[in-house]
Amino acid sequence: MESLDLRVLADALAWKRAGHAVTLVTVVETWGSAPRPPGALLAVRHDGVVSGSVSGGCVEDDLIARTKAALQGGRAGAGDGASSLPNTIAYGVTKEEAARFGLPCGGTLRLVQEPLHDMGWVEQLLARTAAHELVARTLDLSTGAVTLASAQRGQAMQFDGQSLTTVFGPKWRLLLVGAGQLSQAVAQIAAMLDFEVLICDPREEYAATLDLASLGARRVPGMPDDVVRELKPDAHTAVVALSHDPKLDDMALMEALKSPAFYVGALGSRRNQANRKQRLAEHFDVTPDELARLHGPVGLAIDAKTPAEIAVSVVAQMVQVKNARPNPQ
């Protein structure tokens, strides 16, 4: 589940707290070249304001119009109690519909439309994912009841026509060791990709240059190895060492490589990386399997020269690993 979809739920919760009627729409099945994957969310407020997307714009106008009319008419959650129940909607069933709604290649989209009443489950889900927990949410279409349970990484969405189970994961995190120019460029790009960005650098002369508000990042005080231990990196966490100071980078890498972090990278030439791996093996008891997880030189081989170009290569490789795509190098 993308953190974009968690934002949709947060918007829906805020709207309900402000007294608005809200409908939640979930993509449950696609055929052909549907633009959004199963599990994608759209929240529609009674006045037509939306958050999220279920088709990249192909069917939103029609969906918003019908949802807005139902909400304003009190048929989809404007009243109290269970005034209406979840239902399914299909777009692009025929070739004519696919052309009408602009679905590419005759794609077909099936959605579950769900009036939101009790928002307790939304509050719980957002709190649990904020604590870096994977959560499975199950909707009973016959009653509208929602239950939450712990989920496993890789667990897929399930829909059998009566029950819909979707998995919501915690926000992806990136810990940068070092506060120099390259780290700041990486932070900006990662923040645009909706990563929670943390920066650790005990060197005040470097940290003093940080403009955290513009970077969309947060500084974490302390020595990098202590910060990594306290952070407890999980499978949604990346750690990238960019300080170019072995005293800072090596200790952080030692902790990160022994954690479940999905990506661990370090700045430096191939010769420097070889020396670093030797140090980590000899002095910090890092195993060959753990060392094999280290991405160094960090980033994709795009012949990057400037800090901004290097930052692009670093974040691109991080996303590549996150999305489990094979490395062409």
Domain boundaries, the chain: 3-123, 173-322
- Specify the amino acid at residue 284: F
Alpha helices, H only, the chain: 3-17, 60-72, 95-101, 120-130, 181-192, 204-207, 212-215, 224-231, 246-257, 270-283, 288-291, 307-322
Kindly indicate the confidence band of residue 95, based on its pLDDT and cuts at 50, 70 and 90. Answer: low
Mean pLDDT lowest among 151-155, 200-204, 240-244, 316-320: 151-155
Please report the pLDDT score of residue 194 as a whole number. 84
pLDDT at 328 exceeding the cut of 60: no
Q: Write out the two tokens for 44.
A: 């529609």
Query: Are 132 and 144 within 8 A, CB to CB?
Result: no
- The span from the CA of 278 to the CA of 119, in Å, is 53
Percentage of the chain modeled with pLDDT above 70: 87
Query: Are 318 and 263 within 8 A, CB to CB?
Result: yes
Rounded to the nearest 10 degrees, what angle do helices 3-17 and 120-130 cross at? 140
Kindly indicate the confidence band of residue 136, based on its pLDDT and cuts at 50, 70 and 90. Answer: very high
Mean pLDDT lowest among 26-40, 41-55, 116-130, 141-155: 26-40
Please report the pLDDT score of residue 218 as a whole number. 92
pLDDT at 122 exceeding the cut of 60: yes
Kindly indicate the confidence band of residue 154, based on its pLDDT and cuts at 50, 70 and 90. Answer: confident
Mean pLDDT of 158-186: 93
- Of 128-137, 270-279, 308-317, give the range with the top mean pLDDT: 308-317
CATH number of 173-322: 3.40.50.720
Q: Output phi, psi for 110, to 5 deg.
A: -115, 135
81 vs 7 pLDDT, higher one = 7
Q: pTM score, two decimals?
A: 0.72
- The span from the CA of 199 to the CA of 217, in Å, is 7
Q: Which residue has the tokens 């990486």?
A: 186
